[in-house]
Amino acid sequence: MKRSSDHILTSHVGALPGPHAVWQGEAEPETVRAAVGEVVARQRELGVDIVNEGELTKGGNWVTFINSRLSGFEPDAQGNSATLLTSSTDWQAFGDFYQAAMEGGTLFEQTRAAPEQRRGVRDWACTGPIEYVGLAALEREIALLREALGDHPVGDAFLTSTAPTSVEVGRRNLFYKSEEEFVFALAEALRIEYEAIAQAGFLVQVDDAWMAALWDRIGVGMGLAAYRRYCMLRVEALNHALRNVAVEQIRYHLCWGSWHGPHSRDIPLADIVEVMLAIKAGAYLFEAANARHEHEYRIWEEVKLPEGRLLAPGVVSHATTVIEHPELVAQRIERFARLVGRENVIASTDCGLGLRCHPQIAWAKLGALTEGARLASARLY
């Protein structure tokens, strides 16, 4: 994991703007190659230190790309992921808003600049052994990013994958004897992807939007203690999958689902921070810029960051079209630097900016992030 002794490093969560055909997996290989080259170059022009390929190689959103990489599943007509989504206490409290948002197709990017994200099969049934069958697609990702980087060190670049918890949602177990066996089977299959990314020299980013977002769908009824136990089983499975990857190569991203909505029932970070820190990772990325979670920086007055670990808090948010002033970004960075040490902070985004923001807004926000980091660095160093 890259560290700096003279300035605040910058990165982001993963998704960045790209052609619709690329995001929908319909582009020709040369179009994808050109788009990856462009998105890497744009990051470097803006001064981003730790870059990726914008997730453009995945041909889909942050989780659906994995569908073609796992065997053992069939489409499930009896699945209930849609019901799970709308069972949120937040969705119930603000039902009129969510109905209007879904009808207008504006739950994520309000101007419809992003392609449709609700296409294809959403629910799967596990009917056989889970195995990883995505090496060819992954090797293509690795090759495209390596080519686009040029002389940029591969160790200063990351590729994203998905946590077992977030893959589990929308998948019904009809094969394994227990929930635990099913979760660990998912983790063992994903291990292949994690290790391949690491062996290629890149940082492995594990995305997990459901660990926190399940709270107001299944956790409230369980109670906090039971929900933490539910989460810790999945942490154990993830750590098992990461056992052969050096902690310095692992980034873990926790968010609250990233949709544009009230988020009034989000579990507080204070109630789940110990779960997050139990995950084997060199850096933790989490929402810290949006109006629902910005105040939570103060928990680091009491919570001790484990030795050798880094925080990569969001200092710009995907949840608003307002472009943060660089001075505000700098102030957000400085808060964390004062609490956990300037050498332990990487400035990042709350969530992916691609598919969540209009492209013009997304790139402007990334520019505000790097400019804010420069201001903070001038004061902190």
Phi and psi (nearest 5°) for 345? -120, 130
Other Cβ atoms closer than 10 A to 26: 12
Buried b (16+ CB within 10 A) or exposed e, 45-54: ebebbbbbbb
Cβ atoms of 208 and 237 within 8 Å: the answer is no
What is 9-380's CATH number?
3.20.20.210
Interatomic CA distance for residues 12 and 353, integer angstroms: 8
Interatomic CA distance for residues 282 and 57, integer angstroms: 24
- Beta-strand (E) ranges in 287-343? 310-316
Cβ atoms of 241 and 181 within 8 Å: the answer is no
Sole residue written with tokens 């998948």: 171
| Predicted local confidence at residue 268, as pLDDT | 98
In DSSP terms, which residues pair with 203 in a beta bridge?
158
pLDDT tens, N- to C-terminus, the chain (381 residues): 788 889 999 999 999 999 999 988 889 999 999 999 999 999 999 999 999 999 999 976 777 889 999 999 999 999 888 888 889 999 999 999 999 988 877 788 878 888 776 566 689 999 999 999 999 999 999 999 999 999 989 999 999 999 999 999 999 999 999 999 999 999 999 999 999 999 999 999 999 999 999 999 999 999 999 999 999 999 999 999 999 999 999 999 999 998 999 999 999 999 999 999 999 999 999 999 999 999 999 999 999 999 999 999 999 999 999 999 999 999 999 999 999 999 999 999 999 999 899 999 999 999 999 999 999 999 999
The residues near 246 (Cβ < 8 Å, ≥ 6 apart) are: 198
Strand 124-132, strand 70-75: pairing = antiparallel
| Predicted local confidence at residue 117, as pLDDT | 63
Q: Could you say which DSSP state residue 253 is in?
A: E
Farthest CA pair distance, the chain: 57
| Predicted local confidence at residue 85, as pLDDT | 84
Query: What's the one-letter identity of residue 148?
Result: A
In DSSP terms, which residues pair with 254 in a beta bridge?
208, 286
Sole residue written with tokens 């462009």: 38
| Predicted local confidence at residue 2, as pLDDT | 81
Sign of CA dihedral 295, 298, 300, 303: negative
* The pair of three-digit structure tokens given for residue 339, joined into one six-digit string: 């609490």
| Predicted local confidence at residue 46, as pLDDT | 98
Other Cβ atoms closer than 10 A to 97: 13
Query: What's the one-letter identity of residue 233?
Result: L
Cβ atoms of 286 and 276 within 8 Å: the answer is yes
Interatomic CA distance for residues 141 and 149, integer angstroms: 12
Q: Could you say which DSSP state residue 306 is in?
A: P
| Predicted local confidence at residue 62, as pLDDT | 74
